[in-house]
Amino acid sequence: MGRRRGTRCRGRVRGSYSHDSDVAEDVLSATDIKHWFYCPRIVYFERAMNARADLGSQQEEALRVHERLSGLERRRIGALGRPDLAGAEKEFGVALGSRGLGLRGVVDCVLRLGGEIVPLEYKAMPSQGGRAWPDHKYQLTAYALLIEENYGSTVRRGLIFYEGDGAAIEIRITPMMKAYLRRTIRRIREALVRGEPPPIRVPESKCSGGCGFKWICRPAR
């Protein structure tokens, strides 16, 4: 739990919602999904308590990394230098919404090659020893659901590039992961309606408070 949080750019809006600020309060974001899988209390603090994370310079740094990596990717032919994605069309900062799912998100890069659509996400941190972090997998799954609804195309894989160790990781996005995420979205909403803080998942000694909510979380334990 010592990881730092990232941020993301805003971009063109597609789908059911016209702009982030127009979205109804009970619409969850792909970032909420990531936070829930990292630590459900973050979602509780942000959504139920309207508390602000104390992130210092982390957000600015993460934004700088996103902009730099997006800039590199714009100039590159294909994606991440992968032969299987040579010639892919790229769209950056794609904002998507789904009224049915009550979900929204901004995909760093949407890759299109032939009939396939692949979301690509940049992270300003190292991978988990060459593997994707579980919360990032489900953030990518959230993008897959949004892409499927907005583009009418099944998403079977996604990519995460970890700037910290240069790992470009492909994630297979299975029907089981999508079904699990749909159930999780319902559970998050139910938890927010109940208004009770979710239980702590990790021992205090392993939680560095990198989420930015140490100031409110620790005294509440």
Which residues bind to ligand SF4, rule: CB under 6 A? 1, 39, 41-42, 200, 207, 209, 211, 213-214, 217
Distance of closest approach, residue 207 Cβ to ligand SF4, in angstroms = 4
Calculate the dihedral angle through the C-alpha atoms of 11, 7, 103, 143, rounding to the nearest 10 degrees: 80
For the CB of residue 31, give the shortest distance to ligand SF4 in the complex, in Å: 14
Helix (H) or strand (E) holding 144: helix 134-151
Question: How many other β-carbons are positioned within 10 Å of the β-carbon of residue 92?
Answer: 18
Residue 101 or 211: the one with the smaller Cβ distance to ligand SF4 is: 211
Residue closer to ligand SF4, measured from CB, 41 or 47: 41
**Shortest distance, CB of residue 218 to ligand SF4, whole angstroms?**
7
Q: Which is nearer to ligand SF4, 2 or 100 (CB)?
A: 2
Using alpha carbons, select from 118, 116, 162 the residue that is nearest to residue 140.
118
Report the b/e string of 59-74 with b at 16+ CB within 10 A.
Answer: beebeebbeebbeebe
State the Cα–Cα distance between residues 64 and 57, nearest whole angstrom: 11
Measured from the CB atom, is 167 or 200 closer to ligand SF4?
200
User: Is residue 158 within 8 Å of 53, Cβ to Cβ?
Assistant: no
Nearest to ligand SF4 of 38, 143 (CB atom): 38
- Residues 6+ positions from 209 with CB-CB distance below 8 Å: 217, 218
Closest approach of ligand SF4 to the CB of residue 43, in Å: 9
Nearest approach, Cβ of residue 206 and ligand SF4 (Å): 9
